[in-house]
Amino acid sequence: MAASAGLSFIVLQFLLSILLSGALLANAEAAAKATRLLANRVFGEQGPEFQDLISATIRSVTFGILGVALIQSAFAAAGFFLFGIPGAHIWTVAFVIGAVLQMGGLVLIPAAIYFFAVASTTKAIVFLIWCVIVGVSDNVLKPFLLGRGAAIPIVVIFLGVLGGFVAMGIVGLFVGAIVLSAGYKLFLAWIYGRPGKAANA
């Protein structure tokens, strides 16, 4: 029951995120102006710089975490349906959720074990190889997509994503990355004495 409640809460977060994103997109200019004023109030003269940093960080997390999850899910779904694994649509939904939570590989393990039990050995081995390729593909995709366009090291963003997810769940994927990225830039500004130097460090 606890697992079902947790899964339902995650689905609810997705739905609320989609609705909120749609509302913000419909009023993009007003939202941008409000965030600019807030950034100026919090960071002073460096407000526009931090606003750009936050925007780039959100974009990086979107492409690097959600984008990679969708790409992996597409390949995983193709394997489930092409190999004719029973309940392919259920395995696909489970993998999508797992991939977003950075645990997609854990879904492939029971899927491969189950397929060994219901299919021929040769077919199951080929499916296992496919699962391994899909499972490790994020190690290739993330370096290209995560941190793209952001003047922050990939490691900082990824640590923020992991820490935020552990602390806050799905929303923490973005909040953690933003907080750690802004904190990293503020730390460099404090070390170098001037934000301009910190940005070029």
The answer to whether 76 and 111 have CB atoms below 8 angstroms apart is no
User: Torsion over CA of 63, 66, 70 and 73, rounded to 10 degrees?
Assistant: 140
Report the predicted TM-score, pTM, of the whole model to 2 decimal places: 0.62
57-80 pLDDT, tens digit each: 777 777 777 788 888 889 999 988
Q: Return d(Cα 117, Cα 67) in angstroms, integer.
A: 32
141-196 pLDDT, tens digit each: 776 776 565 667 777 777 887 788 777 766 777 777 778 887 887 787 777 765 44
Residue that the structure tokens 């602390």 belong to: 167
Q: Looking at 58-62, 73-77, 116-120, 127-131, which range is the least confident one?
A: 58-62
Per-residue model confidence (pLDDT) at position 129: 92
Map out the domains of the chain as residue ranges: 48-200
Q: Which of 149, 61, 66, 135 is nearest to 105 (CA)?
A: 135
Q: Return d(Cα 33, Cα 87) in angstroms, integer.
A: 48
Per-residue model confidence (pLDDT) at position 59: 75
Q: Report, as an integer, the average pLDDT of 96-109.
A: 81
